Amino acid sequence: MAALAVVFVFAIAVFAHCSAAMGAAAAVVDPNTSDTRNFTVPSAPSTTAKGPVTYVFGDSMSDVGNNNYFPMSLAKSNYPWYGIDYPGREATGRFTNGKTIGDYMADKFGVPSPPPFLSLSLAGKDVLGGVNFASGGAGILNETGVYFVQYFSFDEQITCFETVKKAMIAKIGKEAAEAAVNAALFQIGLGSNDYINNFLQPFMADGTTYTHDQFIRLLITTLDRQLKRLYGLGARKVVFNGLAPLGCIPSQRVRSTDGKCLGKVNAYAAQFNAAARKLLDGLNAKLPGAQMALADCYSVVMELIDHPEKHGFTTAHTSCCNVDTEVGGLCLPNTRPCRDRSAFVFWDAYHTSDAANKVIADRLWADMMVSAGHGGAASAPPRAGASSPAAAPAPSPSDDY
């Protein structure tokens, strides 16, 4: 649930050159004319341009309502104050006060955000557009999030995608469905819960069973299998969001004696990012046509935390809802949100606010335009994985953890 790896958005920022052959909704790719192997630099977006079809896999930072369909799930946000700044002041199941980063990026492309998988009619045209499989509480490991009772693990999300692909084949045929999937963008934002709601929790077995080095090997081995499974289902263009500085989110700061970031937790995130990048580079070398990249989420989130005033915020160390607790930390109906919600980087103990999400999306859009050659800078696509954890600010040390 604590994922600060921002879903979908970093996929677009890193791969601003996603194949323009894929439209939305009922668009069908012609395998004879579509480039399903290489990203191409798109022309500048227009009011009629359509963004890439995107399949989103992740946790609560990218969940747009899947968990609403689980009657026993403890990872839900379909109640006030969530959604207070969403259009219509509606709590949709997004774990923030308004829009997610993915919502803001979809707005810029002029397309709807991919709908939750559990809202789809698999017999209709729904299956031909983007789909969001993200589920609050999910992690890379199947045991992560078990105390949320009901949710889609990453393995289950991949199974849901397999169901969508079968429905696509039934509707448009195997060849067209395969070409469509090859051309689509796969955005994965997972891993934060494996730390925040697993390894770092004293009541979860993994934290006592494994050293951190062993735990990372478990995560990467599992992720390797999962990415190969997606590749086998047709995924070629994949962006995996690296972990943000998890030691700086409110639920972790309260574990320190001085309210500062937990340097050891940030170091864990940086170590995981380095291992994930190595995995992705290896898969690119082994799997024909694979274009998998690590998005550097560490730097952009740390910038907001270290220098909130540069972006119009006053507070980055605590949450607007004042619910900074190690377990729970959601903005329940009986809490009192801050008066100026736009002044806080964090909405609750885990998730960024609507205002922060907009700032991040604006920055990524600008970076994307520069990368795609529309901003007077680079004209060639960045190589996959160009953003790396090594480029992120060094974790702030703390002796409190």
110 vs 131: CA distance, rounded Å: 16
Helix (H) or strand (E) holding 58: strand 54-58
Bridge partners for 239 per DSSP: 187, 293
Render 354-371 in DSSP notation, one character per residue: HHHHHHHHHHHHHHHHHH
Record the tokens describing residue 15, joined without a space: 């791969």
**What secondary structure does DSSP assign to 107-164, as a single string?**
HHHTSPPPPBGGG--TTSGGGGS-EE---TT--SSTTTTGGG-S---HHHHHHHHHHH
Of 66, 23, 4, the C-alpha closest to 347 is 4
Residue showing tokens 């270290």: 306
Q: Which helix (H) or strand (E) holds 295?
A: strand 291-295
CB 13 within 8 A of CB 248: no
Q: Which DSSP letter does residue 392 get?
A: S
Q: Residue 275 in contact with residue 294, Cβ under 8 Å?
A: no
Torsional sign, CA 63, 22, 295, 218: positive
Q: Which residues have a catalytic role annotated?
A: 60, 348, 351
Q: Distances from the Cα of 15 to the Cαs of 120, 242, 343, 378, in angstroms?
A: 27, 15, 31, 13
Q: Which helix (H) or strand (E) holds 54?
A: strand 54-58
Terminal Cα distance for the chain, rounded? 21
Establish how many alpha carbons lie within 13 A of residue 320's alpha carbon, considering only the half-sphere containing its beta carbon. 26
Q: Which amino acid is at 362?
A: D
Is residue 108 left, alpha or beta, with left meaning phi > 0 and alpha meaning psi from -120 to 50? alpha
Residue for token pair 């990372």:
216
Q: Are strands 315-319 and 291-295 parallel, antiparallel or unpaired?
A: unpaired
